[in-house]
Amino acid sequence: MSDRILVLVRHGQSEWNLKNLFTGWRDPDLTEQGVTEAKRAGALLKAEGLAFDVAFTSALTRAQRTLALVLGEMEQDDVKTFGSQALNERDYGDLSGLNKDDARAKWGEEQVHVWRRSYDVPPPGGESLRDTVARTLPYYVQEILPGVLRGEATLVAAHGNSLRALIMVLERLSPEGIMKRELATGVPIIYRLKADSTVEDRRDLAA
């Protein structure tokens, strides 16, 4: 059995990251910095000598473009790729499109903190992280994990919270533990899995 490699990468900086807006399922593109971050991620992965067999991304532009830039930098544009809403960012509901400071002014800092950092309290009209896990995990188990366990080197380009959902399962983190986990934009995380799908090794490729 060849190595069971799974690489997760959060999309590069988006236009709304730059403006400090709640993004969720809204669909802004990458900034110039985001493009640079995605290309750098590709260069780092290329330097590792990785050759991907399959890639997954969300239905949102910033993740799809990040994936394309990473694979382009690696000269692996022909990798078969699948996109799904199951890997979309957490839906921030009524907060989507709002500046985070404006949201604090409207609802209060404590309430906005609860919506952002609790595991199971959703913002109005949106999803909690628990909701995001409930949507993302079945897709991972059914569509992504089987290939990894067969030895297919797999790349997932997605979002802070949909990737947190995967990391929570991979690293067996508690709800409290995963809420404290920050994911930098454009930094690949390389997992090597055991045959039972638990993690044998993890490395963050910070530039």
Q: Give strand pairing partners of 189.
A: 8, 204
The per-residue pLDDT for 206 is 81
Helix, strand, or coil (residue 116): helix
So where are the chain's domains? 5-204
- Whole-angstrom CA distances from 198 to 99, 106, 181, 202 are 38, 43, 19, 11
DSSP state, residue 91: P
Element (H, E) at 199: strand 199-204
Does residue 11 have an active-site annotation? Answer: yes
| Catalytic option among 11, 37, 73, 127 | 11
pTM: 0.96
> Phi/psi at 53 (nearest 5 deg)?
-95, -30
CA-CA distance, 195 to 207, in Å (whole number)?
30
The per-residue pLDDT for 1 is 46
Core vs surface per residue 45-55: b (16+ CB within 10 A) or e: beeeebebbbb
- CATH of 5-204, picked from 3.40.50.1240, 1.10.730.10, 1.10.3720.10, 3.30.70.790, is 3.40.50.1240
Strands 5-10 and 189-193: antiparallel
The per-residue pLDDT for 39 is 98
The per-residue pLDDT for 207 is 54
- Per-residue pLDDT for the chain (207 aa), expressed as one digit of tens each? 469 999 999 999 999 999 999 999 999 999 999 999 999 999 999 999 999 999 999 999 999 999 999 999 999 999 999 999 999 999 999 999 999 999 999 999 999 999 988 899 999 999 999 999 999 999 999 999 999 999 999 999 999 999 999 999 999 999 989 888 889 999 999 999 999 999 999 999 985
The per-residue pLDDT for 2 is 67
How is residue 33 written in tokens?
A: 């910095």
Q: Pick from 46, 79, 47, 85: which is nearest to 63 by CA?
A: 85
| Catalytic option among 37, 73, 89, 127 | 89
Does residue 89 have an active-site annotation? Answer: yes
Q: Give strand pairing partners of 5.
A: 192
Q: Give strand pairing partners of 155.
A: 7, 55
Query: Residues 6 or more apart from 113 whose CB is under 8 A from it?
Result: none
CA-CA distance, 150 to 171, in Å (whole number)?
20
